[in-house]
Structure 1
Amino acid sequence: MRKDLVELGTHQAAFFPRVDGNTLTLSWVDELLFACLSKDWLTPVDVLMHRSSAGEELRNGWGMRIGDCFLAMRLRQWAEHRGAEAALESVPYRTDRPPMLVARYRLTAVGDEIKRRGLAEIAQGARLPVWGVTAYDPLAPWVVVDDGTAHQRVQRLEGRATQDDE
């Protein structure tokens, strides 16, 4: 039973932003998405089928667990989050098709900066409800912290961890 709980916790932790020292980074799942994105317009299908280790991890590791429609939903959430300061922008593509082809996405300058340097603040991330809490919620900032062992833990962000803390 304990092993099952650890596996479930590890799975859920992959949706929360991470703290590494003073750097606040994307969740593991969002990092995979961003790794497959660029300035080129891509559908969620293109992202899922990206020829890279991140694309392979999305297909073989996460695609089986969360499904392809989650990826389309997550890309839309990022594109709709923060308006003009969104990390992704979208354009309609084949609106008469399934969610995986309805829109195309690309990184904005903000998204490229997040991809390269991490999050300036937790509110830059598109919120994602996960089992009764919300990832990237500045009012309840839960993050993943590596505890120095083989395990990670989700904890509330104390103080303000940003890329440029001084």
Structure 2
Amino acid sequence: MALQGDASKAEAALTQLEIASNLKGSASHVTANMGAAYMIQMEYDQAYGALSDASTNDNTVNAKVNSMKGALETKNADYEAAKTSFGAAQKDGKSNINKGLAYLLTKDYTQANNAFDAAKKDEGAAALAYYLSAVTAARQGDAALVQSNLAESVKANADMKQMALNDLEFRNFADQVAAAVR
């Protein structure tokens, strides 16, 4: 759920962002970037504070900020806040996966599937989106959807095979998992 990056580069970026913040005041782009850098460093409280302060008239920046806020809110089990943030978030694969997780964890399987279906359209997120759709199907007891979604997940990324074989979410679907990973 977090951003990927090198912590030492994030530290250097934070130094420059703090300088920029001192020169320009609390410019929203600077504050949003500080939030992202704090996320890379796994300083989640500071990240959330910075992202909450990063209000701007730029809808693109707001959408990215809401994606990051939603991810942090999901991590902190504040699922209702996460759903609100994801409602105004960017509509890319990672954001849709995180949105789907917030719904999955609150047992709103219809909305979870809607978000995962949207994420399947993003090639970089498709394998995980299919996998999480299989988890959603397992929680609903739908063996056919477990198998078809796992098969698509493994087709998109062979590394998902081992994950599926070891995942307790599928403990009642051994035949479907075996068929999906062949």
Q: TM-score, normalised by structure 1?
A: 0.28
Q: Which structure: greater strand fraction?
A: 1
The structure whose Rg is larger is 2
